Structure 1
Amino acid sequence: MSWDLILKSFSDKSELTSEQITWAMSQILEGKASINEIKQFLTGLKSKGESASEVEALVAQMYSYSAPINITERAVDTVGTGGDG
């Protein structure tokens, strides 16, 4: 797997496979991707339009890196996602 292969998919307007998404998100979350690769990946997804299966794979990979938190009180998240919507 390589960034070149993944980034080429965006110019072809091809949907990424779950394996490609998983690899890319792992590279990002492990600090192995450069700022430029991250920028190209995110803008490529946005410009071609994310599919439901791509978003599902992104979320699954992010969850696999998440750590549970323990709180004793009830809590409500009042902070947005930081997205562009």
Structure 2
Amino acid sequence: MFAYVDYYVPYNANMSTTVWALYLLAVLVYCSPMIIAFYRNVDNKWWLYFANLLLGYTGIVWTYCLFYAIFKSKQPPGARPAIA
């Protein structure tokens, strides 16, 4: 019923290195809105961090977070939000 098929796959010693490099690249791309937001010190960076972390896989939220991180105005250095 089941035929045994032996596919020849040449051994590549660097395959695991390539896979890990692609994995790290994917993580870097996924986290890029968070990295940009913290580097630029944008408003509501912690909300952006959690939104991207929890909902970024949808693609829509990731795109919004990236847009927000790039185009939102920066906080002045040392500025803190006012406590009401």
TM-score, L = length of structure 2: 0.28
Structure with bigger gyration radius: 2
Higher relative contact order (CA 8 A, sep 6+): 1
